[in-house]
C-alpha cells in the first residue's frame, strides 16, 4: 500500500490514527506542531516522540516536502527559486528584498490555464493545483532564505507567482490558515495579498468567507475590448461583473482592494486609458500599483516610456487615487512580474 501524505490529515484525523494504534490522542497535537509550527520535513526530526511512534509514522505516512532544486540571485539581491514537488513538477517562488520589507512571491498552481498575452507563465500548460502544504513549504523556504542570507525576517507574502489562486480556492485558503494560525507560522493575514486575474464568482466567495488578507486584481486595462485581448478570462468575467463582485467583497470585508496595472507602450498607457481606470476606481476604495512591463521572449508588447508612465500616474493622483509605481525586481534572472516560466540560466546556482 502507498503511504498517505500526513499533512493532508486534520488534527482530529491524526488523533484517530493514534487512538486506533493504541496510543494517546495528545500525541497528535505533538505531531501537528512539528508539521505546521516547526515545519519538520522528516519524522526523525520529531525528537520528543519515542522511536516506536516515529517508526509507526514512517511505516504509514510520508511528508511530501518541497525541495529546492535551483536558485538564482539577481544583481538587486532578488532570489528566484525553482522548487521541486514530490511528483517531479517544478514551480517558482521569489524572495524580493527592499528597504522596508522582505516579500515572498509564491505559486499556487503548476503552470496556468489563463493564457494572458503578456505573461510567460500563461504559455505553460496548467498541470495541476498545488496542495496547501506545497504552498506552505514555499513560504517556509523563502522565510528561511530571508533570515539566513539577509538576516531579516519575512514581512509579506504575495500569491502572485505561477497560477491563479482563486482557481485553487480550497488549497489556497487552507495554506493561508496554516501560515496565519497560532498553530502554524502565526503570520498576520494583513501581511498576505492574494492576486487574481479576475474570477468574479470566487471574489464574491472571498467576501462570503470574510477573509482577513488583502486582495489584488490584475486589471491592466479598464476597457473590455482591450482587456479581452490581453486577458481572455475577461470574456467570461467582464469589467461590469468584476465591479459588482468587488463591491460585494468590499461590503463584506471593508478591505481596500489593490488594482495592478502593467503599462504597455501604445496599448494601455494613454490619457484615455488613465480616464477609464480612474472611472473604474470609483466603484470601491482602492489603490493602484502601476507596474513596469517586463518583456518576455517573443512577446508583442513593449515597455512604455518613463514620461508616459509618469503622466499616467499623475493623472490618477489628480483624481485623488493612491498610486504606487512598482519598479521591476530580478529582471536579469527572469524573476520579475510576468516572467516566471521555469526558465533557468546557465549562471544558476544549483541548490545543495
For the segment 287-318, what is each residue's pLDDT rounded down to a tens digit?
Answer: 999 998 877 776 788 989 999 999 999 999 99
CA distance 327 to 153: 22
User: What pLDDT does 60 receive?
Assistant: 95
Average pLDDT across the chain, whole number: 92
**Of 65, 18, 19, 69, nearest to 41 (Cα)?**
65
CB 94 within 8 A of CB 80: yes
Q: How confident is the model at residue 135 (pLDDT cuts 50, 70, 90)?
A: very high
Residue 344: is its pLDDT beyond 80? no
Report the DSSP pairing between strands 286-292 and 322-326: parallel
pLDDT at 342 over 90: no
**Does residue 71 register a pLDDT over 90?**
yes
CB 40 within 8 A of CB 111: no
* Cβ-proximal residues to 96 (8 Å cutoff; 6+ apart), any chain: 78, 102, 103, 104, 105, 329, 330
pLDDT of 187: 98
Residue range 149-202, pLDDT digits in tens: 999 999 999 999 999 999 999 999 999 999 999 999 999 999 999 999 999 999
Give the pLDDT band (50/70/90) at residue 113: confident
* pLDDT tens digits, 13-62: 999 999 999 999 999 999 999 999 999 999 999 999 999 999 999 999 99
pTM equals: 0.92
As a whole-number percent, the residues of the chain with pLDDT over 90 amount to 83
Q: Residue 334: what pLDDT?
A: 61
pLDDT (average), residues 331-339: 57
For residue 335, pLDDT beyond 60: no
pLDDT at 194: 98
Instruction: Using DSSP bridges, classify how beta strands 286-292 and 257-263 pair: parallel, antiparallel or unpaired.
Output: parallel
Closest CA to 73 of 332, 336, 328: 332
- Residues designated catalytic: 92, 337
C-beta of residue 164 within 8 angstroms of C-beta of residue 110: no
Which domains does the chain possess?
Answer: 4-62 (1.10.150.530), 106-341 (3.20.20.70)
What distance lies between CA 157 and its chain's CA centroid?
7
Amino acid at each position: 500500500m502507498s503511504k498517505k501524505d500526513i499533512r493532508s490529515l486534520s488534527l482530529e484525523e491524526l488523533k484517530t490514527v493514534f487512538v486506533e494504534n493504541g496510543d494517546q490522542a495528545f500525541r497528535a497535537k505533538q505531531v501537528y506542531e512539528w508539521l505546521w509550527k516547526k515545519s519538520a520535513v522528516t519524522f526523525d526530526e520529531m525528537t520528543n516522540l519515542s522511536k516506536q511512534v516515529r517508526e509507526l509514522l514512517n511505516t504509514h505516512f510520508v511528508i511530501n516536502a518541497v525541495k529546492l532544486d535551483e536558485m538564482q540571485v539577481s544583481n538587486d539581491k532578488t532570489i528566484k527559486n525553482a522548487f521541486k514537488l514530490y511528483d517531479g513538477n517544478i514551480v517558482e517562488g521569489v524572495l524580493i528584498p527592499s528597504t522596508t520589507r522582505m516579500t515572498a512571491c509564491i505559486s499556487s498552481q503548476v503552470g496556468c490555464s489563463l493564457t494572458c498575452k503578456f505573461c510567460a507563465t500563461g504559455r505553460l500548460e496548467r498541470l495541476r493545483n498545488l496542495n496547501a502544504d506545497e504552498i506552505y513549504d514555499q513560504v517556509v523556504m523563502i522565510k528561511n532564505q530571508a533570515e539566513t542570507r539577509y538576516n531579516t525576517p519575512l514581512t509579506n507574502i504575495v500569491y502572485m507567482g505561477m497560477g491563479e489562486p482563486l482557481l485553487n480556492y480550497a488549497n489556497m485558503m487552507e495554506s493561508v490558515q496554516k501560515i496565519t494560525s497560532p498553530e502554524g507560522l502565526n503570520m498576520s493575514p494583513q501581511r498576505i495579498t492574494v492576486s487574481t486575474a479576475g474570477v468574479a464568482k470566487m471574489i464574491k466567495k472571498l467576501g462570503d468567507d470574510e477573509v482577513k488578507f488583502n486582495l489584488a486584481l490584475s486589471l491592466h486595462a479598464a476597457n473590455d475590448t482591450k482587456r479581452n485581448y490581453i486577458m481572455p478570462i475577461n470574456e467570461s468575467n467582464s469589467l461590469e461583473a468584476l465591479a459588482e463582485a468587488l463591491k460585494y467583497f468590499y461590503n463584506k470585508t471593508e478591505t481596500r482592494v489593490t488594482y495592478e496595472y502593467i503599462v504597455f507602450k501604445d496599448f494601455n498607457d494613454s490619457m484615455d486609458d488613465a480616464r477609464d481606470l480612474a472611472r473604474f476606481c470609483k466603484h470601491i476604495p482602492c489603490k493602484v500599483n502601476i507596474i513596469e512591463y517586463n518583456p518576455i521572449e517573443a512577446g508583442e508588447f513593449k515597455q512604455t516610456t518613463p514620461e508616459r508612465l509618469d503622466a499616467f500616474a499623475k493623472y490618477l493622483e489628480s483624481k485623488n487615487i493612491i498610486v504606487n509605481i512598482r519598479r521591476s525586481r530580478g529582471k536579469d534572472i527572469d524573476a520579475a512580474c510576468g516572467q516566471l516560466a521555469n526558465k533557468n540560466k546557465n549562471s544558476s546556482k544549483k541548490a545543495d
